[in-house]
Structure 1
Amino acid sequence: MAHSNAGRVYARIAGTGSFLPEKVLSNDDLRQFVDTSDEWIRERTGIRQRHVAAEGQTTSDLAYGAALRALEAAGVAPSELDAIIVGTTTPDLIFPSVACLLQHRLGANGCAAFDVNAACSGFVYALGVGEKFIRGGAGNVLVVGAETLTRMLDWSDRSTCVLFGDGAGAVVLKPDTETGILSTHLHADGGFKELLWNPVGVSAGFKPEEKNAGVRVLMAGSEVFKVAVKTLDAVVEETLEHHGLDRHEIDWLIPHQANLRIIQATAKRLDMPMDRVVVTVDRHGNTSAASVPMALDEAIRSGRVQRGQMLLLEAFGGGFTWGSALLRY
């Protein structure tokens, strides 16, 4: 499903922010309790370290830290928000949503507030929804990607526990008549459910005696890799074709930070040198819905991404879900 901005109002990113827990877990630290090595992890994923939420530190805590920085950068007060949309697959509670908890903490009571669960594509999905709010007349929309993925890991499973980290990133969208998000392209295929999933829920529940029972990430890594590369290629091509753009007109690729090899494959497809690709996976690991907004915030605050440049954001996650957002920053 493609959504293009055919009208005169665009959703412009007015400010960004991110927040990481203090605790850092290196690959060498992981060696202490799981059969792995720094070399093994780096060769297969590009990850050197990840941040882990402290005991009692929740997804909404991380979202709050990122939101404050994004609001400050945008010059927007919480009371001026018309909507808060949080992409997450690790909410504090089943309900109320992270967005409602965040709203109350910010003192932005009264505006729309809800979560979007599209796993690692959560922020791109939430950004697509936020853009529609702006096009529909909203003045300021806070979009957040926040996760505490380490809370749902089996720390004895080396195929998954080495991959994920915790964090949050946020953007504030404002209406603009000249520039902003040009289009979002969102897709899913539930037929791939058991290649990357968590077997526990409310309605389905689980039986303790069943194999793989418990809150944990289950993943068929090599199969996920193949589908991710293929679908990200397709959504990149779809995005460029939609606008009649040449791939060399993209200034920056800001991808979901799941695996360095997937990022490199997408960059190769775009014929884009890696110095035009924002990479944070080495320091953050896979932070699911938080990875794209954190990478965007880092690239903007470091001065690499400049106003007027063309950015391509893309992500792939459990579901499977995948999507892209093309914007002129």
Structure 2
Amino acid sequence: MAIRSVILGCGSYLPARVLTNADLARMVETSDEWITERTGIKSRHIAADGELTSDLAYNAALAALAHAGVAADELDLIVLATATPDHTFPATATRVQARLGMTRGAAFDVQAVCSGFIYALSVADNFIKAGQARTALVIGAETFSRILDWTDRGTCVLFGDGAGAVVLRAEDNPGTAADRGILSTHLHSDGRHHDLLYVDGGPSATQTVGHLRMKGQEVFKHAVVNLAEVVREALDTNGLTAADITWLVPHQANRRIIEGTGRKLKLPPERVVVTVDHHGNTSAASIPLALCEAVLDGRIRRGDLVLLEAMGGGFTWGGALVRW
């Protein structure tokens, strides 16, 4: 019998403040039409003053644990994906660990920007498969509003804040594609493309936080190619085809990228989970936020085959196939 990581439950948290395109049009030279046409985004959530990434992560964690019916003292592992930690160190995951009252096991951060949740899911899945953890909490949480240049209309309109989480538990099963759990994860990176999407600050380089910088058209071109490749890799690994996919839950960066990926898979739009219109790009929080929304509203059901995929700065990209 093989050990497989099964997702027991999910949870999410969004800050109370909503920033609409109309609000942005009063801050920078843009319009609702310009933003919507290019990105599909209508609004995004922005963390309040003093509201930290760990606060968002903690609230998403509470919701996920409640949905899974798991107590914090059952956790062996917390893996938190973020590019906007509370501090340079310690890891934001340890702050969540302390607030949850978890005093055993391990908690640490993973940094792969928009691919962060896929990376964190893969790390936790491998801990479980190796027998080093039985129950794990995987979180994606970001306060990207803190690293935006609010005078740059090409980037400040794209991003939002939020957090999502899932609870994993080891289960014995035959290891076939028909069984529940994470079937496979696939991670990639290519550091040659650093200058296409990065933050121009950091403790070692500038001793400042810095702002996000992006060459959007170039990132778009790479995203289309890389996401298509990782989708094929995930399906081929499991002997499946695109026709087997029940739901695509992509990173919510841009509606055009999402729709393009869906077309490549020949998935009708109603089988693709889209939240970018009301969340914006929440980086590592993007996939768990979208996943949780589709689970809680009843779209994703037991036995569904769910494909998760993302690409982010670095470049990093990855995918995961999950039988719900």
- Could you state the TM-score of these two structures normalised by the residue count of structure 2? 0.96
Describe the SS at the equivalent of 1:156.
coil
Tell me, yes or no, if structure 1 residue 14 matches structure 2 residue 8: yes
8 Å Cα contact 2:140/2:288 also seen in 1: yes
Q: 1:69 to 1:214 in 2, by over 3 A?
A: closer
Any gaps of 5 or more consecutive residues in structure 1? Answer: 1-6, 207-212
Equivalence for 1:116: 110
Measured in 2, the distance between the counterparts of 1:79 and 1:263 equals: 38
Aligned ranges 1:1-329 → 2 under 5 Å = 8-137=2-131, 138-178=133-173, 179-205=180-206, 215-329=210-324
Equivalence for 1:209: none
Measured in 2, the distance between the counterparts of 1:156 and 1:204 equals: 23
Consecutive aligned runs of 4 or more in structure 1 exceeding 4 Å deviation: none
RMSD of aligned residue pairs (Cα, Å)? 1.0
Question: Which one-letter code corresponds to 1:259 in the other structure?
Answer: N
Question: Which one-letter code corresponds to 2:314 in the other structure?
Answer: G
Equivalence for 1:4: none
Q: CA deviation at 1:242?
A: 1.2
Cα deviations across residues 101-142 of structure 1 (Å, max 9, x unaligned)? 000010002220000000000000000001011112222100
Measured in 2, the distance between the counterparts of 1:65 and 1:203 equals: 31
Cα deviations across residues 67-88 of structure 1 (Å, max 9, x unaligned)? 0010011111111100000000
Measured in 1, the distance between the counterparts of 2:77 and 2:219 equals: 33
Q: 1:107 to 1:48 in 2, by over 3 A?
A: same
Question: Which one-letter code corresponds to 1:132 in the other structure?
Answer: N
Measured in 2, the distance between the counterparts of 1:139 and 1:78 equals: 13
Measured in 2, the distance between the counterparts of 1:71 and 1:214 equals: 32
Indicate the larger mover: 109-118 or 20-29.
109-118
Any gaps of 5 or more consecutive residues in structure 2? Answer: 174-179
Cα deviations across residues 53-101 of structure 1 (Å, max 9, x unaligned)? 0000000000011000100111111111000000000000011111000
Q: 1:281 to 1:302 in 2, by over 3 A?
A: same
Question: Which one-letter code corresponds to 1:84 in the other structure?
Answer: I
- Could you state the TM-score of these two structures normalised by the residue count of structure 1? 0.95
Q: CA deviation at 1:32?
A: 0.6
Measured in 2, the distance between the counterparts of 1:324 and 1:109 equals: 31
Measured in 1, the distance between the counterparts of 2:305 and 2:193 equals: 32
Q: CA deviation at 1:214?
A: 5.9
Measured in 1, the distance between the counterparts of 2:218 and 2:319 equals: 21
